[in-house]
Each structure stands twice: as C-alpha cells, then as structure tokens.
Structure 1
Amino acid sequence: MPSARPVPSALRPVVAAAAALVALALVAAGALVSSLATPAGALSPAVVLTSDFESGLDGWQARGAASVSTTATGARGAGSLLVQDRVDPWDGALIPVTEIFEPGTTYTIGLWLRLPDGAGTADLRVSVQRDLDGQPSYETLTTVEGVSSQWRQVTATYTPGLFDTASLYVESVSSPADVMVDDVLVSGVRYTPDLSLTPVSDAVSVPFGIAVEPQDLLGGRGDLLAHHAEQITPGNQMKPDAIQPTEGTFTFAAADGLVDWAIEHDMRVYGHTLLWHQQTPDWFFQRDGAALTTSAADQALLRERLRTHIEAVADHYRETYGEYGTPGNPIFAFDVVNEVIDESQPDGLRRSEWYRVLGPSYIADAFRYARAAFGPEVLLFINDYNTEYPDKRAPYLRLVTDLLAQGVPVDGVGHQLHVEVGRSIPMVEDTIEAFEALDVTQAVTELDVSAYRDSGESWTQPPADRLLEQGYYYRDMLAMLERHASSFESITIWGLEDSRTWLRSGAAPLLFDGALQAKPAYWGIVDPSRIGATPTPTPSVTATPGVTPTVTPTPSVTPTPSVTPTVTATPSVTPTPADPRACRVAYTTNDWNTGFTAGVRVTNTGTSALSGWTLTFSLDGGQRVTQGWSASWTQSGARVTATNAAWNGSLAPGGSVDIGFNGSHTGSNPRPTSFALGGVPCAVG
C-alpha cells in the first residue's frame, strides 16, 4: 500500500511524511520570500519566523539530551546555532511554533545546515512535532543527505494538521554528530481553490473518491475536496496500527474525524484496511514478547485477534453512526484484505507473518469474520497493486476464483493503479476484462499517475510537456474505465493535490497542484479539449503475453506495496540484418524512500527468433533485487540475471517482452549502463 509509512520505533515514532510533505529544490534563503510567486486564489506569502542567531538563540531550545548555544561562524553573518551533546538521532534543536503555525496553511521553510569542522558527514532531517489530545505526531519535512562542514541551503514545504502544540526542529537520521543551523526563514500562504470548475464527480459516471488525511479537510483543501469528490478513503487512519496500536486499546478519534466530515458533506466512506502485512503492530504476531509459532494454540490466538479486531471496527461504526446501510452511516465498503499476492511464490501468496502462522486460510477467515461483523450492507473488497501485469493478474484472479468457489463472501476486487505516464492502458483493460468473468464488482482504489518515467529524471516541477502528456494519459485511462463503468463500484484518486503525494518530489501525480489549482490532469478527465492545442492519444504499449490462470485450492497473496514499474512505448529500432542476435533494452524505474520498482523492456532486434533468453546486467550502486516478475530473477553481488518464464521465452524478430522487479537502495539508484542477452551486448534506450 503506497500510503505506507514507517512503523514508529519503540523510542520515537518517526512517521515519514511521504504522503504529506514534499521537499523542494534548494533556493537562496535570502531570496525565499521574494521568489515565491503568488498563485491564483492565494494570499501573498507572509514571513512568520526568522532566526539569524546574530544576537542570541532567537527562541530556539534544546531537544532531548542536546544542548544549544551560539557560535561565531555563520552562513552569511557572524553567528549561527550550535547543537551539541546529542546522544540519540532525535536529540537536536527546536523552536515552538504553536502560536506561529495555523492548520491548513502551507509553509515554506528555509534554513542553512552544516557540521562543525572535522565532524565528517551526516544525514540531517528538518521535522515537525504536533501534539493533539495528548498524542504526538512526528513528521519529516525533508532529509538532507551527506551534510558536511560546508553550509547547505535547504527548503521544504509543510501543511500542518490540527494541533494543540507544535514545534519545528532539526535532527539526524542516525548520527548524533554536532550540528550547526543558521538563517531560518519561514513564510506561509493559504491557498483558495477555484470552486467554479466542474466537479470531477460530474464528469465520471461512477462514484468518484479521493484518499485523504486529516490535513486535507482544512481550509481550501477541504473546500476543494468537498467540491470534487463523492466519497473519501482514509489514507492511514483505519489501518490496524492506527486503530489498535496495543492489544485491547482502540483509538478511533482520527478515523472518526474523517467519517464525521464525510457525513457533514454528504459523502460515502470506503474503509481501508482491516488486514495488511504492513502497518500492523508486532503484538499481533507475538505471545509474551516471543514470535508466535505454528502450534494449534498460537494459530487459534492469531485467528481470535483477527476476528476481535474486525468485530471491534464494525461494532464501533455501527454503535457510533447507526446500522450499516442507513442514512447516518456512510461506510459502504471496506478493504478486508490488502496486498496478499506475491507472484514470485509457487502459490502466488505473500509470505507475511499472517501466512507464516496460519498458512493461506487467514484470507478466507478475514472475509468470513468481516461478513459476520459488518453484515450484508458493506461491500467487502480484496485490494492489490500491479494487478495490470499478467503475472500478477494470474494469481490474483486465481485467488478470487478460489475464494468464490469456497463460498467466501468476496464482493469486490480493487485495483490500485499506481502508474506513470506511459503505463500500458490496454494491459489495465485486460485485467478488468478478466475479472468481469467473475461474480464481483470492481473498484479503482488508489489511482495516481507519476510524471516521472524513471529514476534518472528529477525536477522541482515537471516540464510543461510532461504535464500535458499526463493530462492525455488521464484522459485515455478514464475513457477506458468508462467503457467498463458497469463493472465498477467507484474510482478513487490517491491524494488531493501534488504537495501531499506519497511519491518523491516532482512526481506531481494528482489532478491539482500544491496551490490547489487544476492541472492538465484535471482537464483530461473533465474536458480533454482544454488539455492543450493538439491532443494526441497516449502511446499504446503492447502488453506482456498473459498467463492463463488455473484454479487452485490455495488462495493467493501479493508483493509489498511499491511504485508500479514504468512501461513506455518501445522505441523504433532498425535491426542490423547481419546480426541475427541483436537486442535493445529500455530500463525505467520509479523510486521512493529506499525502494524502487524497475521495468525492463527487452526487444529482439535481430533476424532470428529466440526460443529462450537470459538477460544480464549489473546494479553498481549497491541495489538489491527483492522481488521480480515475468522472469526468474537471481543476483550475485552486483550481477543480476533474468531468465525467461515458461510463457514468454519465445521472442520473434522485432518482438518485445516486459519484465520487472522491486529493489532496495541506500539513497542512490544509478541505472545499469550495459545489458547482454544471451551474452550478446544490447543497445540501451
């Protein structure tokens, strides 16, 4: 689930703000305010905080075990803030912003960072702590890698949610090295959307939804949300770690706030999610601090915990808002089981802790518990990502087919559709058509379209032509979905506006920009004639040959949420007639945090057909392949080998095959520079 955030640690629950905070390009701090263009519908930016440390601490304090003082070494003046005596990474320097920040206002935060001479390097963070009703939230604004004894200028944007108290602070990722801070400048602006625009919900023939966090209900964001959506999906507030962080202790306040808002605005609520391998507290899988075994007693304990959790959620919303299906209760659907497919496993099921202890039976159990708890008025969904890929589609289809054959109450199938410009829309349609043969409804649950094609691209704002291309892509995707409207319960976009996407900075995957203004992506859905002067269809990409699914009695499970691999139109290649074994490789990636998803298109540009193939290349940046599809993947050191699957080994002259993998990196993800097919070097591009 791309909305995933790191699980809080025992000492300090650091919540990565990937879905809420976007790091901006470096700018000169002194020109920060004057360089901010005021967008339509926005007030002029106002400076709310400055600290130059020329005559004291300027209100800054020590955080944790640290101590703070001023020094005579400044970024541009004669003084700066020195943070010393740090023991843990979260020890640092803070300034209270309770009386400075306002919920729903967007702030641009600029400052300078360095380490003292001789201190080496460290990765530093600029963060915010918000406390509401006694519960702290920790949000990382930006991470600055490799800070040394040279001053670094940094800016980030931040939109706070509700709080009783709040503080802005500097910390580090791991090293407790001394830190120097200077020339802090914070300005704020409150954006106002154009509510004269046609609501997106009016342009989509099925219910249209947006996934949201509490910050999205505030100010202009709340107005924008209410204007365009018919339903909402809580991004994180209904996940197991949010609802039941410790056994028997249920915390519904954040989720209830979203439900209350939906009721006030006459919206439906799509619940997300009851069971997931991520964002589930460790205690679910432990007894007295030790990992559960596969003993009958431990299996019974885990099943009881699952049933109790589902019943508690269902009972709470029934008791609070009335019986499901009545006007007072807006919850109409719930993701019961999320991301349980892993196409690399023989049975197609993810090897999670749920699977380790219970085997595949937990999937059917979860649906049966949910039907008993919620009753017939709530649609029960299974949800997954990458379902458009044939090798993921096959076990997903097989699992749902098996569950239905067993009488398991699966009402709906969710397709996340975290894609990027160029992802094959015909491949998505093939998946939709495959599930239309089953007695289920379908939903697009988490649609967004990254403007990046691969990790080699990086920008503060996407180029205008890429935003136009994104608009055409949304146009073509929604046109395809409309052809299958009768099969869909709803279509949901994963996020309201670009500054709060879970993807990396510059991906700009949503319909509205950070200033709450409509993008070409919006017009792609509402009025494609307004995208640009010369609309052109999204390039069609030939889908990888499908796997013929076979029904097996074992349910399936899926890979870890990851950004869906980039698929782009195959470049035109003129084969060399003299070389019967020529080849070309197109390699694209989508990165997030320390993970990435790679798409690899292999084209046979030679004159002879291949009856089997092996592709080799090197990942020279320390990356590791964690999971692959459409091929058999192995890695030895930096060398990666992909061998054809049983169904895609035949590659005619001019033919292409799409394969891919999930991987991990340590902050840098350089692209492979050379590929070989059967030992023959391939052209790249």
Structure 2
Amino acid sequence: MPSVRPVPAGLRPAAVVAAALVTVALVLAGALAGPLAAPARALSPAVVVTSDFEAGLDGWQARGAATVSTTAVGARGTGSLLVQDRVDPWDGALIPVTEVFEPGTTYTVGLWLRLPDGAGSADLRVSVQRDVDGVASYETLTTVEGVTSQWREVTATYTPGPFDTASLYVESVSSPADLMVDDVLVSGIRYTPDLSVTPVSDEVSVPFGIAVEPQDVLGGRGDLLAHHAEQITPGNQMKPESIQPTEGTFTFGAADGLVDWAIEHDMRVYGHTLLWHQQTPAWFFQRDGAALTTSSADQALLRERLRTHIEAIADHYRETYGEYGTAGNPIFAFDVVNEVIDENQSDGLRRSEWYRVLGPSYIADAFRYARAAFGPEVLLFINDYNSEYPDKRAPYLRLVTDLLAQGVPVDGVGHQLHVEVGRSIPMIEDTIEAFEALPVRQAVTELDVSAYRDSGEQWTAPPAARLIEQGYYYRDMFAMLEQHARSFESITVWGLEDSRTWLRSGAAPLLFDGQLQVKPAYWGIVDPSRIGTTPTPTVTPTVSPSPSVSASPSVSPSVSPSPSVSPSVSASPSVSPSVSASPTAGPACRVTFTSNDWSTGFTAGVRVTHQGTTALSGWTLRFTFPGGQQVTQGWSATWTQSGSTVTATNAAWNGRLAPGGSVDIGFNGSHPGTNPRPTSFALNGVTCTLA
C-alpha cells in the first residue's frame, strides 16, 4: 500500500518534462501510439525516459532540500547524477513523468544507484508521487538495502493509477546520505487481454468478484476485469484511513471512482471495511494527542467516533447513488468488522485498541450501528483469515453464535482464504460445514493461492510445473466450493493479476499473469482439461486437524503484511497417496518446516511426523533459531522461547501421536532483516530428519 510521507518543503509540481526528456518523448511518439496499443505478446516496450547524465541533468531536478549536479563517475559511462545537501530521507532527485506516464500502463524502471566514496551504506528507495485533486500519494517501487560506494543495478515494475501530476524520484529509508544515480531507463507497455476466453463468472454458480485498486479499472486491466467479474471489492479505498484520515474530514474520491466504474459495468460492490485494527488512523484512539483510557467518557467518545464513521459512509453512498437495494446503488454488502479473532486469547478475541478501550462490546456495537445506518438491504459481514484452521474456527464460530444469540444483526461470515498450493481443502470444507449450522450467509472474501511452499523458494517466475499444480489446486478448491454453493453469497479473488499481488514477488497467486493472460489457475476453474499435466503426478496430503501455517490478513498490495505459506504439495490430477502406518527406519521423527517472510516478520508452519514404533502420549519439539528470530504468536501447541531455543509442547487435543502420524503446528515470528531456517529439530529429545 502507498506509504504516507510528508510533502517535502519547496517541492514544485512539474507539468512539463525537461527538454531532453521531451526530445525522447517526441522521437518515440510513433512507438507510444503504436506498440502501447497493440496486443501484449506482440510488443517491444516503448522507452519513455532515458537519462545517462553524460551531457547534463537530463530533466532531473532536486526534491525537497537536496541539490543535484552531475559528476564524472558513471556506472557505465563517464557521468552520473550526484544528490547532495539532503536533510530528510525524502529529500532526493526527481524527474517529472506527467507527460509520459499513462494511468493503467505497466512500466519497467531500471537504474543504477550508489553512494559516494566513504559514505558508508544506506537503504535507498525508488518511488513515485501521484497528485490527484491536490492530494498526494507516495508509492514505493522498490527498496534497495545496503547500498554502498559500489554501483547497484535496480529494476522494478510499476502501474500508475489516475493522476493530475506525477514524478519518479529516488529517496532513502532513513539516512539522508549523499547518493548517486545513473543510466535510468523506463519503458512502458499496455497489455491487451484475450477477451475471447470464457468469463470466470460464467463457470462459477455464485457471484464471482475481484478485489481491485484504481489502476485495475484502467486500460486493458479494466477490460479484463469487466470480462470476468460480476462484483468488485475496493482493496483499500473504503478502509478507515482512506475514508476519514483526520477526524471530520471524509475523502470518498478514490472509492467513488470504483463505485462509478462498477455502475458503468453493471457490477455489484462489496464494501471493505468499516472497522479494523489496522489502517485505522491513530486519532480514533486519542484525545488531545493522548491515548484514550477505559474511562466512561473515553469509551463514549470512541463509540461515538465509530458510529459517526459508519453513518457518514452509509449516508454518503445513499445520497450519492440512491437508496440501498435500488438499481442505482450497487453496494450490497459490507465487511463491518475485520480480523477480530485471536485464537491464542482465552476469549478468542484480538487485543486491539478497540478491545483495550471498549472490551468485546465494540463488535456488537459496530453491527448495530451499521444496521441502523445502512438499513436491511445491505448484508453485514464479519471477516477473518485462517478460519479454516480448527483452533481459529472454534472461537470464530463461538463469536458469531454468541452475537446471533444476542440479536446482533450479523448476516454473513467471510473466509479470506489467503492460502498456498497444498493447503488442506478438506480442512476448509470443515469450516464451511460448521458455519452452515448457523443462519448466516458465507463468502470467500480474499482468495489467493501462493505458488511458494516456503521462504526457501525464490524465483522471478514460478516453474511451469508449479503453475500446473496451482491450476489443479484451484480446480479442487472451486469444485469443493460449488458443493456448498447454496451457502455462499459470493466468491472473491484478492487481486486481478500476478504483477500487483500484495504477496512477495514470484508468488503468482492469481488467475491471470502480469501480461493479463490466462494461467493454469484460470483453466482450473473454467476448463480443467486445459490445465496441462505435471511430469510426475503430485498428491493431496492427509492433514491432521491442527493448522499447519498461518495465512495473511486482509491487506492489499499495500496493506498489512501477513503471508501465506505452504507446507505441502497440492493435488494434480486425481492421485491419492497410499500411506503406510508402519514406521520407517532411521530417526524416530521427521520435520517439515515452511516459512513465508515479509519485511521484519514471517509465518512458519511445522509438520512433525512420528516415525517410532509406539504411540506418543505427549510430545515436545525443540529447535534453535540461527538468526535472532523471535516467536510472537503460535498455535496448536504451547510455545516458549529462551534465548534462541524454541520449545513447542502439545496442546490438549493433539498430544497423542500414533506411529506414522503427523501433527501440524505453527507460529508468527519476527526477524532482524534476514530469516535463515532452523536446521535441527528434536522430538522428545530425539533428533529428527529435516524434510
């Protein structure tokens, strides 16, 4: 999600590029008019920015307090751009791109970076500022860690949303050290999807939706979206920080743009979200800059802020588009509360700022305020991740049951399903069946399927065989969901295409690739006979009742980071394993450790298989972190850590392990920047093999 940064003092919006850049744009006018409009796979990218600093600044200028000049030290030539006199991290160098960037077009940005001799090291960022109606957005294209006096080549891709003015710039994360830039090359391509293929919505018996950002309704992306979806979910534009960044100031422009697009294309809109512990401005929980207390006055203030926020949203969309449930207003549902479950708390509820000030009552309050504000025509949902895991399913089910017993107007339950190739589909089905006992609708709200199995895997693009496995996983997932279609209000995929997923690069979790073309994942839903075959058929594992890995919360390519991790391999065509219960020779246990990382955190899954000859009536697993990691939250076991040694002891319900049996446990953790995997595990004191 775009990071919010101060607008540098003295920064002047630029509407016209410098002479050198204008020359490039004019020379390439034919390329821009031709290749950018042609079908994606027949193109050569059109160059829109080139700067080698051999004969001047090439259109670059200072950003903020910095100064810019050329220097005779080049990455590949004899000149480069030197940025000095920086005071704050956002001071740097920029080039206006208003006249050469086009919203919805994908750009590849390449450049070289270094620090001057003797300057030490710094983490640098390549970013874009977009201004719309006087409101600036700051978007990080890439962060380059540990830049020194050696040249580093950097490449990133970027798809701009709407803008009045825009600039590409280089800044730093924290240090205002002098920096150098050279050999900038930006090329753009407008991809054209194949609209002759069957729409996904035609093959799904419940309304099919896609979560989107403003970029996704432009150009070829908009064509792709309109062809395949029946409804959209705004990824970030309806969250509290977007709608009411400061108290009493409501900003509906970005969200309204998506609602307008939905109306133009006869689509429904699923709103997301009225209340969340993330992406909520700090002022909600403060009075005169100090944190709210649990006093009756502060509790009343927070409840009133919540009510006011919900009423303002409901009133705006009623006044703008007509009464809910009428033809002009496409909003049919809203996530009222998002991610309030924490299975590690005794009452199963997340200890957020909402909980700290109000206790658990805020959940019922939010639903009651929403019903009063939106009326009966908008379905009110609760939404959470990891609901497929038994230990999270239980408190989620208990909370919804209790709310309904109190007469709280909960119409629906959302399952995010941020998963990975190999996540147990029967486990997901168990959760769906559990909620079918309640008088609520269900929805898959944020589905994506990471191609990575663990943090040890890294690629620019997944191997073909993995994409085929992913296709079969989508096939099996949707086959299961279709069996429960009567329970579902909708199924939504969290993102349009792989280049804009919020997961790490290479996860490729969606139905279409970065060139807007169909993948095996698409064929898994539409026509499984066209998925292809794997060289060696993979198998669907039998998963024990306990969870193996944590999923990710509801964050978009900009949101709160929580990854999806895969402990096992997904099904390829209809092959089931034959598992022997007899133990194998060698060590008495086997461990599979999977991990998915983000900036300073990770989610890990640990599968322990007992290979001894007699059943265990209790177990303890120990391992050592090699890189300063810390367990922050665990499930399906009692987790403790002393120094670098981590101990997991069975929960009450999974202590018995038969010979050949497995148990899946997991945890969230933090790391100092790198996350090496543990290399040695011991079960009840016996060293395990590491799969």
TM-score (norm 2): 0.91
Map of 1:669 onto structure 2: 675
List aligned pairs for 1:110-121, cutoff 5 A.
Answer: 110-121=110-121
| Deviation for aligned residue 1:663 | 1.6
CA contact (8 A) 2:589 2:689 kept: yes
1:443-469 Cα distance to aligned partner (Å, 9 max, x none):
000000011111101111111111111
Letter aligned with residue 604 of structure 2: A
1:256 corresponding residue in structure 2: 256
Question: How far is 1:681 from its partner?
Answer: 1.0
Letter of the structure 1 residue corresponding to residue 282 of structure 2? D
Task: Name the amino acid aligned to 1:114.
Answer: R
Q: Does 1:8 align with 2:4?
A: yes
Write the distance in 1 (CA, Å) between the matches of 2:667 and 2:157.
Answer: 32
Would the aligned equivalents of 2:276 and 2:337 in 1 still touch at CA under 8 Å? yes
Q: How far apart, in 2, do the equivalents of 1:372 and 1:41 lie?
A: 51
**For the Cα contact (< 8 Å) 1:200–1:228, is it kept in 2?**
yes
Shift in Å, 1:44: 2.8
How many pairs does the alignment contain? 650
Q: SS at 1:400's partner residue?
A: helix
The CA distance in 2 between the partners of 1:545 and 1:426, in whole Å, is 10
Aligned to 1:22: none
Q: Aligned residues: percent identity? A: 84
- Asked whether 1:422 is paired with 2:422, we answer yes
How many angstroms apart in 1 are the aligned matches of 2:643 and 2:7? 35
User: What are the equivalent positions in structure 2 for 1:470-489 lying under 5 Å apart?
Assistant: 470-489=470-489
SS of the residue corresponding to residue 467 of structure 1 reads: helix
Q: TM-score, normalised by structure 1?
A: 0.91
**Equivalent residue of 2:499, what SS?**
helix
Output the amino acid matched with 1:228. H
* 1:681 corresponds to 2:681: no
- Report deviation, 1:39: 7.1
CA change 1:334–1:304 in 2 (3 A) is same
Determine whether 1:165 maps to 2:171.
no
1:168-179 alignment to 2 at 5 Å? Answer: 168-179=168-179
| 1:247 equivalent in structure 2 | 247
Q: What amino acid is aligned across from residue 251 of structure 1 in structure 2? A: T
Contact 1:42 1:189 in 2 (8 A): no
Corresponding position: 1:299 with 2:299: yes
Query: 1:69–1:573: structure 2 CA closer, same or farther, 3 Å change rule?
Result: farther
The one-letter amino acid of 2:600's match is T
Measure, in 1, the Cα distance between the counterparts of 2:353 and 2:659: 45
Asked if the contact 2:234–2:272 (Cα under 8 Å) also holds between the matched residues in 1, the reply is yes
Task: Please state if 1:143 is matched with 2:143.
Answer: yes
Q: 1:558 to 1:347 in 2, by over 3 A?
A: farther
Alpha-carbon distance in 2 for matches of 1:251, 1:346: 38
Contact 2:3 2:140 in 1 (8 A): no
Q: Partners of 2:395 and 2:292 in 1: how far apart?
A: 27
- In the alignment, does 2:94 pair up with 1:100? no
Would the alpha carbon gap of residues 103 and 385 (structure 1) be closer, same or farther in structure 2, given more than 3 Å must change? same
**Structure 1 segment 602-641 matched on structure 2, within 5 A:** 602-641=608-647
Check conservation: 1:42, 1:190, Cα contact below 8 A: no
Distance in 2 (CA, whole Å) between partners of 1:125 and 1:632 is 40
Distance 1:532 1:488 in 2: 29
**2:589 paired with 1:583:** yes
Counterpart residue number, 2:601:
595
1:413 alignment partner, SS class:
strand
Q: How far apart in 2 are the matches of 1:98 and 1:667?
A: 35
- 1:386 aligns with 386
- Indicate yes or no: 2:325 matched with 1:325: yes
Show CA shifts across 1:20-45 (max 9, x none). Answer: xxxxxxxxxxxxx9xx9997455431
> CA shift at 1:12, angstroms?
7.8
- Using the TM superposition, give the Cα deviation of residue 10 of structure 1 relative to its aligned residue in structure 2, in angstroms: 6.3
Measured in 1, the distance between the counterparts of 2:650 and 2:161 equals 49
Give the match's secondary structure for 1:626. Answer: strand
1:541 and 1:282 map into 2 onto residues whose CA distance is 44
1:71 alignment partner in structure 2 = 71
Q: Find the counterpart in structure 2 of residue 24 from structure 1.
A: none
Asked if the contact 2:124/2:171 (under 8 Å) is kept, the reply is yes
Q: Does 1:526 align with 2:522?
A: no
Partner SS, residue 590 of structure 1: strand
2:653 is the counterpart of 1:647:
yes
Take 1:195 and 1:576, find their aligned partners in 2: how far apart are those partners?
A: 53
What displacement does 1:9 show?
5.5
- Distance between the aligned counterparts of 2:681 and 2:115, measured in 1? 41
Counterpart of 1:494 in structure 2 is: 494
The answer for unaligned runs of 5 or more in structure 1 is: 14-32, 548-556
Distance between the aligned counterparts of 1:603 and 1:71, measured in 2? 61
Aligned to 1:17: none
Indicate how the Cα distance of structure 1 residues 598 and 39 shifts in structure 2: closer, same or farther if over 3 A, else same: farther
Residue 6 of structure 1 and its aligned partner are, at CA, apart by 7.2
Task: In structure 2, give the amino acid aligned to 1:658.
Answer: D
Secondary structure at 1:144 match in 2: strand
Tell me how far 1:623 sits from its aligned partner: 2.1
Which shifted more, 584-593 or 246-255? Answer: 584-593
Alignment check: 8 A CA contact 1:590 1:597 kept: yes
Q: Which amino acid aligns with 2:624?
A: S
Q: What SS does structure 1 have at the residue aligned with 2:181? A: strand
Which structure has the higher relative contact order (CA within 8 Å, separation 6+)? 1
Instruction: Tell me, in whole angstroms, the C-alpha distance in 2 between the residues paired with 1:561 and 1:138.
Output: 18
Contact 1:448–1:509 (Cα < 8 Å) also in 2: yes
Alpha-carbon distance, 1:240 to partner = 0.3
CA distance in 2, matches of 1:451, 1:62: 41
User: Which secondary structure does the structure 1 equivalent of 2:205 belong to?
Assistant: coil
By how many angstroms is 1:637 displaced? Answer: 2.4
Amino acid paired to 1:606: G
2:447 corresponds in structure 1 to 447
Aligned position for 1:372: 372
What are the equivalent positions in structure 2 for 1:332-343 lying under 5 Å apart? 332-343=332-343
1:578 Cα offset (Å): 7.3
Distance in 2 separating the partners of 1:539 and 1:126: 42
Q: Which residue of 2 aligns with 1:55?
A: 55
- Provide the C-alpha distance between the structure 2 equivalents of 1:221 and 1:537, rounded to a whole number of angstroms: 34
| Residue 287 in structure 1 maps to residue 287 in structure 2 | yes
Indicate the larger mover: 276-285 or 537-546: 537-546
What whole-Å deviation, never above 9, does each CA across 1:586-635 have from its counterpart, x for those lacking one? 01112233322111101111112111111111222222222111111122
SS of the equivalent of 1:101 reads coil
Displacement of 1:177 in angstroms is 1.5
CA shift, 1:178, in A, is 1.3
| CA deviation profile, 1:538-584 (whole Å, cap 9, x unmatched) | 7323333269xxxxxxxxx99986223423159979976777x7111
- Contact 1:511–1:522, Cα closer than 8 Å, also in 2: yes
Secondary structure of 1:176 counterpart? coil
Which residue in the other structure is 1:30 paired with? Answer: none
Q: Deviations over 1:214-244 (max 9, x none)?
A: 0001000000000000000000000000000
Q: 1:574 to 1:122 in 2, by over 3 A?
A: farther
